[in-house]
Structure 1
Amino acid sequence: MAWVLLVLAGALEIVWALALKQADGLTKFWPSLIGVSVAMLSLVLLALALKHLPVGTAYAIWVGIGAFGVAVFGTLVLGEHMSPAKLVFLGLIGVGVAGLRMIES
């Protein structure tokens, strides 16, 4: 169950980061409210997962899911530039997250 909470927390990290992008420096009410609220929920889920997982592994996976997801969403939906080098390094994040999950099983 801790892994499910951790993955959900990572997915919510993607949501809050993208909402804060739309919040334009917290000047737009709804995106700001969504971003801050979802960030708090993401942290709560991370905290619950940390009751059963090592902090270094859990935090690295949480951040990795968020970073990978935001970069992919930014490229595919927001039209942000994706260079071959960025693609390689995002792949390394994905490999790192998967590797950490495998060694903690």
Structure 2
Amino acid sequence: MEHALALPAGQERDRALHEARKKAKRTRYAAEAATDALGGPARALTKAMKSLTTLLGDHQDGVMARHTLRELAAVAHAAGENAFAYGLLYGREEGHAARLVAELEGRWKKIADGLSG
């Protein structure tokens, strides 16, 4: 997460956040499996990873939506149609992604502080 969040906005950060999501999911599943043996700490880790993977999933959905909007805009433009609305939707998705990254930064800091404390 720290590596991904340190990257500037763009495809590299998007890929790194997607990789972080996959790792957080594996961590969540491992914590769920250990709940009977470890109790509260495993439950807390499961809950933290679930909240993190939800945000990361929302971010990945936005990445895919922006990709699709770019493709639709290109097709519309090639057909001589107005692609302005696709650009507006793309901009909204970009704004949503920026808000998600800000929320991810706060969430990750809280999780990391809890794991180290």
Alignment TM-score, normalising by the size of structure 1: 0.48
Name the larger-Rg structure: 2
Alignment TM-score, normalising by the size of structure 2: 0.44
Higher relative contact order (CA 8 A, sep 6+): 1
